[in-house]
Amino acid sequence: MTLVAPYMMFLNQEQFRVILLDSKKRLIRSCIVSIGSLNAATVHPRDVFRPAITYGAASLILVHNHPSGDPTPSDQDILLTQQLCMCGSILGITVLDHAIIGVKVLCV
């Protein structure tokens, strides 16, 4: 997560990104999907997977920050991860991980 953690850990708004990877798990690019408020960012599957489809990603990693500094996943974080994994499965794009960045980084 050294690709995005230094840029996200001290933001004062939640930011949701996707890290797009090719079939050999090499970086294609990192894309901002949503910028929210102090404690929430609205995320829709179409916005998460649009860049993955556009850039031909085989898999992706979900990343968002918690401005509070506590990377513990909320119930909404867990539900969103499950929903996005299902959507990815339907589209043939593997969701490899969901990292939450606070003062530390936690993978869901």
Show me where the domains of the chain are located. Answer: 5-107
Asked if residues 65 and 73 have their Cβ atoms less than 8 Å apart, the reply is no
Run of H or E including 15: strand 15-21
Determine the pLDDT at residue 3. Answer: 74
pLDDT tens digits for 55-90? 999 999 999 999 888 899 999 999 999 999 999 999
Considering the domain 5-107 in this protein, what is its CATH number? 3.40.140.10
Q: Could you give the 3-state DSSP secondary structure of residue 108?
A: coil
- Look at phi and psi of residue 26 and say left if phi exceeds 0, alpha if psi is from -120 to 50, else beta: beta
Q: What is the pTM of this model?
A: 0.89
DSSP conformation class of 44: -
Q: For 22-63, how does the pLDDT look when each residue is reduced to its tens digit (9 = 90+)?
A: 999 999 999 999 998 877 788 999 999 999 999 999 999 999
The tokens 């991860």 sit on which residue? 81
Dihedral angle over CA of 64, 99, 82, 59, nearest 10:
100
- The residue with tokens 């953690």 is 5
